[in-house]
Amino acid sequence: MQNTLLSADTADVIVRTCRTAMGDSLRSVTYFTRDDFDQLYLRDDLEQDADLTGFIGNEWRSFKTTREAYRGSELGDYKYTIRTFENGFLLRVTTDREGVFATTDGLTIQAFDNVATAIRKVLGEA
């Protein structure tokens, strides 16, 4: 897929990280900032007409709201979000300036944790 926000190497590492942890369950991978996004991967059997602009705005605002709402709570620091839908799941991993969301069919919590940790490491190095 065409990518303009990340180097090709970094985009490839993010997609490989998600593919390794999520396997054939991976549906899509999208890198985003507050103002823009690149869809890095979309599984072949899915339609390519999703309006990601609304998703990005929601995920960015939601990250900021969630992080601030729970800051200093006994739960500890915010790490990542898993959203559950009728046809799959969305994993969002976000830093102060960028994020990745990956959509998937079913996975275990451990698999979500593994991929979130790996993505956060890639974003920290990018």
Q: Is residue 50 part of a domain?
A: yes
CATH number of the domain that 92 lies in? 3.30.450.30
Q: Is residue 44 part of a domain?
A: yes
How many domains is the chain built from?
A: 1
Q: Which two tokens stand for residue 101?
A: 């969301």
Q: Is residue 24 part of a domain?
A: yes
Length of the chain equals 126
Q: Is residue 2 part of a domain?
A: no
Q: Is residue 20 part of a domain?
A: yes
CA distances from 75 to 33, 67, 72 (A): 26, 11, 8
Q: Which helix (H) or strand (E) holds 101?
A: strand 99-104
Mean pLDDT to the nearest integer, 19-30 = 92
- What pLDDT, on a 0 to 100 scale, did the predictor assign at position 126? 56
**By residue range, what is the domain housing residue 31?**
8-125
The C-alpha atoms of residue 29 and residue 18 are separated, in whole angstroms, by 8
Provide the sign of the torsion angle of the four alpha carbons 113, 123, 121, 96, taken in this order.
negative
Q: Is residue 1 part of a domain?
A: no
Residue 105 has pLDDT above 70, yes or no: yes
Query: Percentage of the chain with pLDDT > 70?
Result: 96
